[in-house]
Amino acid sequence: MDRQTINRSIQNYIREVEQSIQEPIVYRDLGKMPLDTAKAFFLLLPMLNGEDWSSKLNTSAIAVGAVHAAFDVHDKVDIFDASSKEQQLMVLSGDHFSGIHYRLLSSLPDFLLITNMAEMIGRINETKTDLLMEKTDGISGIIESIIRVESGCIGEFHERYGFSKYSKIAKTALGLIWFVKKSMKDPSIERGWTSQIIKNADVDSAISILTSRLQEELAKAGFLTPFLKQEIHRMATPLLEKPI
């Protein structure tokens, strides 16, 4: 699979998720909500690596995308000033997307996935609360908290459908990408609920730890095609300004 095919697969998936959460009033007032292409890439990693991918799996993946859309919208709300019309609309649109992902999940004949996802959504919300209250256990606790927030639902999807071998790489890479964006003061991170919580020294430590971890995991990932390994390298290298 070449890069053009990968990009096409990701964009097709993103369009499907956008169609599932389309709400004209939200788009009118807030504009189109961009979906995270990195999360889409790692969610679809088994398919991109040649694993069987049924229509049921695709529908489940769309539901996971709707979950992340809801989280991402809520995460853009400034917890210190949520009184503006835009901020209030973000809360409402996040709630709207949350309702859609539960509708999508409930339409699936897979009760275990529904219950696992619901439990993970609860854990993610608890994790965010713990971060806000600074109840994490040092740098390791901060890293695992961010990884859970960024990739917990993707991990549940992989585990449910027999793709557990992809979970570690997806979780580590998405955690690393988040911390690098934080270090670069990416607006998508800085405008959100974590903007004043995690210290710069912790960000630097997390990048170092996760860079080493991802390097080790990719070295052991004999099941991944060489091209996909290169793509994962490519996604991180421009951010870190050096190879992993």
State which amino acid sits at residue 97. Answer: F
Computed over every residue of the chain, the mean pLDDT equals 80
Among the listed ranges 23-27, 34-38, 189-193, which one has the minimum average pLDDT value? 23-27
CA 177 → CA 132, 147, 151, 184, 228, distances in Å?
21, 10, 11, 11, 17
pLDDT grade, residue 125 (50/70/90)? Answer: confident
Helix residue ranges per DSSP H, 107-199: 111-132, 138-160, 164-183, 187-190
* pLDDT tier for residue 101 given thresholds of 50, 70 and 90: low
Looking at residue 137, its pLDDT comes to 77
**Who's near 188: CB < 8 A, 6+ residues apart?**
76, 181
Tens of pLDDT along 145-172? 999 999 999 999 999 999 999 999 999 9
DSSP-based three-state secondary structure for 206: helix
Structure tokens at 135: 């109840």
CA distance 210 to 152: 16
Distance CA 244, CA 12 (A): 29
- Which pLDDT tens digit goes with each residue over 110-123? 788 888 888 888 88
Range of the domain at 169: 3-240
Dist. CA 43–CA 16, nearest whole Å: 14
- Write the pLDDT tens digit of every residue in 26-66: 544 445 556 789 999 999 999 999 999 999 899 889 888 87
Number of compact structural domains in the chain: 1
Is pLDDT above 50 for 215? yes
Q: What is the CATH number of the domain that holds 85?
A: 1.10.600.10
pLDDT at 144 over 80: yes
